Each structure stands twice: as C-alpha cells, then as structure tokens.
Amino acid sequence: MRQKSDRMNFKLHFACSKDDLRPSMTQVYVTKENIVATDANILAVVPTKDVFDDPSIELLPEEGLYIDSNDWKKLVGAYQVIYNGEFVVAFFPRKSEAHVRPRTIEDVGNYPQWEQIVPDTSKFDSVGRIGLNPKMLYNLHQALDVPTFKLEFSGDNKPVAVAMPDDTYATSGNQYGIIMPLLIQDNNEEDLEGNGDEDQDVSYSSEEVEVTDEVQAVIN
C-alpha cells in the first residue's frame, strides 16, 4: 500500500483513449476495488487502496465513478488523494490543492467489461515470436508507475499480461496491465507492423481476428 509520504504517480491518463466516440474510455474508471484505464490496445489496473484511503473508498458509489483523463493529470504527484462524496481532492506540498468533480455512469455510460479480456495466466500456450508496440509499452509503463515489467505470454495471438516483478515497491505491487500483440510479417525482412505512431491503424493476421473480435465485443 502506498505510504503517506509517497507521491501518487500513477499516470493513468496515458492509458486512456482519445476517441470521443467511446466516451467512457476517455475516462479513468474508479471502483471500490480497482482503478482502470484503457484505450483498447493497453489496459492499466491499479488497486484503489493504492490511491485512496479507506474513508474515501467507503464513499465511492457501488457502480463506480469516472475521472476525465485530463482531470486525472491534476492528481499526479499529490501526497494524498481523497474523495469526499462530491469532489476528488489532491493535496500537494506547500499547501496547494486540486479539486476534481468526477462524472457518473449516467454522464458517460457503462465502462467496458475489462475483466473479460484479462488473460488467464494459468493457461499458457507455446510462444514463438510476438510483436509489441513500444509506444504502447511506454504508455503502460507511465500509467502503472513501476521501473520494470514482468511480461507473461499466454499465446502468440493473445493479450500479453504485464505484471510486477517480485521485488518490493512503495505501492502494493498489485497493479497490472495488458497489451495487445502486433502482427510480425513472415518475410525476409521480418518487419514489425506498427512504429508507435499514435494515429496508425494496426494490422492483425487472420489468426488474430478472434482476439480483435473479443476486444471489440467487450468495448461495444
């Protein structure tokens, strides 16, 4: 659990979508158990207790609430973040504060059923080669606030689980994420599709269509 003297440095806005056609995914989703952010290519999950104290968690609505990704930036670096039933308040050194009014499901809509696309790491397939977009990996690194990752490959056409190493961190170490794989061309140059550009459309092989359909079903 994050100590009071530590800063809240989970930059979950890095994992949010910028697509206004999916309004719930432009938000950081906060429940009593987890804080979640996704853009359909990466997913970041942080235990709520690593950000809010117990009295704040008790005040959170059962259906959860949303914090706009731009508002979440205002909370980063705070030594304490609370929810008072109306506002999320971040306290910074030198007695400065930031107040953010969260949104509700009525405002934004239901959040994707993200638990359905988290890989079951108890079932592993043999993995040959797999492609990862370095920019996505960087964004996930920023969102989860850890120096190193432990990647768990459950199959060459399945989401890659991103877990914490077994070392001890200031946080609980229970934050985690997933990242969608990219197509690696089977040719002489062995080009990796995807150069990290924000607006690039990622191409999937026919074997990966099942993964894409699964993610789209959850989003829709």
Give 117-163 pLDDT, tens digit per residue: 777 666 656 666 788 888 998 899 889 887 777 888 877 678 888 87
CA–CA distance, 151 with 110 (Å, rounded to integer): 29
**Where is average pLDDT lowest: 105-119, 149-163, 164-178?**
164-178
> pLDDT at residue 192 above 50?
no
Cα 16 to Cα 19: distance, rounded to the nearest angstrom: 9
88-91-94 Cα angle (round to 5): 155
Answer yes or no: pTM beyond 0.85. no
Q: Give the pair of three-digit tokens for residue 46.
A: 């942080």
Read off the amino acid at residue 100.
Answer: V
Cβ contacts of 50 within 8 Å, gap of 6 or more: 1, 2, 10, 171, 172, 174, 175
The H or E element containing residue 44 is strand 42-47
Q: Which residues lie closer than 8 Å to 90 by C-beta, 6 or more apart?
A: 8, 74, 75, 78, 80, 81, 97, 98, 100
Separation of alpha carbons 163 and 77, rounded Å? 23
Structure tokens at 2: 């994050």
The model's pLDDT over 178-190, given as tens digits with 9 standing for 90+, comes to 898 886 665 544 4
